[in-house]
Structure 1
Amino acid sequence: MPSQKLNTVLAIGELLWDVLPSGKMLGGAPANYCFRLRQLGVPALMVSRVGVDSLGDELISNLTNLDFDLSLLQHDANTPTGTVDVTLTSDGNPSFTINPNVAYDNLEWNDSLEAAAKEATFVCFGTLAQRGEQSRSTIYKILDSASNATKFLDINLRKNCYNKETLRRSLELTNILKLNQSEVGLVKGLLDIETSDSITFSEILINQFDINTILITLGEKGVLAIDKSLGSITVPGIPVTVVDTIGSGDSFSAGFTFKYLSGASLQECCQFGNITGAMHATYSGGMPIITRKSVKDFIHDRHLSEVLF
C-alpha cells in the first residue's frame, strides 16, 4: 500500500437531511464521511449542491458550525435541498425513502471542481448521486481529472437509485471498493455473478474491473478485505452497545481512509475503520461529534494498543 502525504480528500455526492421519527439530522453518506475525516484532522472537502431554501440555509448554518469547508458547495435555485425519510427497525438498522429531483442531482462541472480534482489525493464517491444525469456526468469528470488520486467507491446501493450501467462504470473507475453483505447480493444479481463465496466474488470483480482492494463490511463481525496483491484477511469487529447504525459504514470508510493516507497496512486500515465505525454506532445520527481524544480513549480502554493513532 503506497504511503501518501495527508492532502485534500474530496467527498462527492449527497448532502441532505435525514428525517427520522425523532426529528431531522444532517446526513448523506459522503457528508458523513467528510465530517468524520475532518474530525480526525484530514482536510476533506464536500462536493455537493443544496437548494436555495430554508432547509439549505439551515444545513449550511449547521455545517459551518461543524467546521465544514463549503468552498465547493453549490446552490440551486430551482430544486430543493435533499431529504431522506428514515425509519429504524427494532435492532437499530435504518430503512430509507430517498426523495427524488433534489439539488444534489444537479451537480455542475466548473473550474473550481476541476482545480480541486487535480490537487486531490483521495476521492470518495458513491452511486446515489449518479441517479441524475447532470451529477453523474460531473462525477465522472471529477474522477477523470483526479488523475493522481486514489478513487474509493463506497457503493451505497439505494432502491431505485442505481442501475447496471452506473454500477459497471463506477467499478471501472475505482481503486478501492467498499460494500456490505446485502450489497454483495445486489451486485451479484446485477452482474450475473454466480458464487456464494465472498472471496471468489471479490476476485471476479478485481480481475474484471482492475480493482486493487475490496472491503466487505460484516456489521458487528468486522470486515473482510480482499486485495489484488495481498490476498484476503478478516479483521474482527469491536463489540459495542448499538444506538443506531446510520452513518456507521461511512465512519468505517473515513477511518480506513485516515490510515490509508498515512501509509498503514491493510490490516491497520481495516482495524481503525472498525474502531471509528463501532464508536459511531454508539451514537444517534450520521454526524455525531467524536473527537480525536475520544478515539484515543476508546483505543486505550479497549486495550487496542496495536492500533497507532
Structure 2
Amino acid sequence: MDKLDVLAIGELNVDLILNEIDGEVEVGKEKLAGNMSLTLGSSTAIFASNLSSLGAKVGFLGKVGVDAFGEFVTQKLAGRGIDTSLVIAEKSLSTGATVVLNYGEDRAMVTHPGAMDFLSMKDITDEHLASAKHIHFSSLFLQAGLKKDIHRLFAKAQALGLTTSLDTQWDPAEKWEFDFESILPFVDVFLPNETELLHLTNTATVEAAIEKLKPYVRNLAVKRGNKGSVLYRPGQELLELSGYLNTDVVDAIGAGDSFNAGFIYKYVNGTSLEECLDFANLTGALNTTAVGGTGAFASKELLSEIALRKFNISIDF
C-alpha cells in the first residue's frame, strides 16, 4: 500500500461558531448572535482537512469520545478523504469542543479539551509513523498527554525517515514552557505565528527570536496575518513575503492552519521553500473568504474559483 503523504497527529474537537454578535460578552449579561454554525474544529484537524482538499494523501491519529461530536468530526475528516483508521474512540471520554465568538478578524474562544488531553505516546507506534512520509503536530499546549514527550515523537519520526512539522499554537496558561533546545533539532519546519514566536522565545522582535533559535531551528516560517510571512533558513537571508489581502473577511478561524496546509502541501511535493511560503500565504488568505476553517476548501474547483476572483491567482495544484 502506498504511504500517506502526511500523518496529522493531535487534537480533535468541534467548533461552535457565533458571528454577528451585538457587542462584547460581559459576565452576567446576554448578547445575541445573528449567525451560528457547527464545524470541524481543532488546529490539526483543520490542517489535515485542507491539506487533503489540496490533493495530499492524509491520515489522522487522534482521540475522541464515543459521542455525537466524535462521530461528527470523524465523519467530516472521512468526507474530505482522510484516512481515519487511527482515530481512537474511548467511551470514558468526551470529544472536545470550542465555542468561538467572532469579532471581524479577531475572536474569543473557550475550549473544553476532553479527549485531546489523553492522547499519549503509548497510542503512537512505529508502525503508525512508518505509514507516512511526514508527520505534522499542532496545539502542543492543549495536549497534556503528549506535551512532555513531544521531543521523543519527533526524534522517533526522523529516525524512521520521516520529515516533520510543528505549530505549537497559543498557550492558554500563558506559561510558554517550550524546550526548543530538545525539540527543534528534530523539526524540519517550525510554523508559529509572530505573537506565539515572541512568547515562546521571550523576545520583542522576530529578528531577536530567530537569533535565539538559530542554534536549533532548521526551517522557520512565521505567520504574520495580513502582513504576510517570514522565512528563516540556516545560512540564507531572511525572506519576507507580503500577504494576499482579503478586503472582505468572513472570519479568520483556521487561517493559520490553512497557511500550514499550503506550506506542507508544497513541501512534501519537493517545492522550493520560497514557493512553499508564497502558496501558504495564499491558502491562509483563501481561508478567510468562508465560514469556519474548512469552508473555502470544499473542493479544488472552489479554491481555484475563489483564488482567481479574489486575488487574480491561478492555482497550480
TM tier, shorter chain? 0.7 to 0.9
Query: What is residue 219 of structure 2 aligned with on the other side?
Result: 213
Identical-pair percentage: 26
Deviation for aligned residue 1:58? 2.8
Q: Which residues in structure 2 correspond to 1:1-309 (within 5 Å)? A: 7-21=4-18, 22-89=36-103, 91-100=104-113, 102-109=114-121, 113-128=125-140, 131-132=143-144, 134-136=145-147, 139-147=150-158, 148-160=161-173, 163-165=176-178, 169-189=182-202, 193=203, 196-207=204-215, 209=216, 211-240=217-246, 241-290=248-297, 291-301=299-309, 302-304=311-313, 308-309=316-317
Helix, strand or coil for the counterpart of 1:179? coil
Distance in 1 between residues matched to 2:7 and 2:75, nearest whole Å: 21
Cα gap change, 1:308/1:146 in structure 2, threshold over 3 Å: closer, same or farther?
same
Q: 1:111 to 1:82 in 2, by over 3 A?
A: closer
Cα root mean square deviation, aligned: 2.6
Partner SS, residue 70 of structure 1: strand
Shift of 1:153: 1.1
Per-residue CA shift, 1:131-154, capped at 9, x if unaligned? 42x333675554233121222111
Are the equivalent residues in 2 in contact too, given 1:131–1:161 (CA < 8 A)? no
On the 8 A contact 2:116/2:142 being kept in 1, the answer is no
CA-CA distance at 1:42 after TM superposition: 0.5
Q: Residue 255 of structure 1 contacts residue 272 of structure 1 at CA under 8 Å; is this kept in 2?
A: yes
Q: TM-score, normalised by structure 2?
A: 0.83
- Please give the per-residue CA displacement for 1:202-230, whole angstroms capped at 9, x wherever unaligned: 132122x2x11111111111111111132
- Provide the C-alpha distance between the structure 2 equivalents of 1:62 and 1:303, rounded to a whole number of angstroms: 30
Q: Give the gaps of 5 or more residues in structure 2.
A: 19-35
CA positional deviation for 1:184: 2.5
Counterpart amino acid of residue 86 in structure 1: V
Distance in 1, matches of 2:296 and 2:312, equals 22
Gaps of 5+ in 1: none
Report Cα offsets for 1:157-210 as digits up to 9, x if no partner.
231286415666543542221111221331133xxx4xx331232132122x2x
Q: Aligned partners of 2:208 and 2:151: how far apart in 1?
A: 28
Name the aligned partner's letter for residue 221 of structure 1.
Answer: K
**CA 1:165–1:201 in 2, change beyond 3 Å: closer, same or farther?**
closer
| Structure having greater relative contact order (Cα 8 Å, sep ≥ 6) | 1
Tell whether the 8 Å contact from 2:63 to 2:89 is kept in structure 1 after alignment: yes
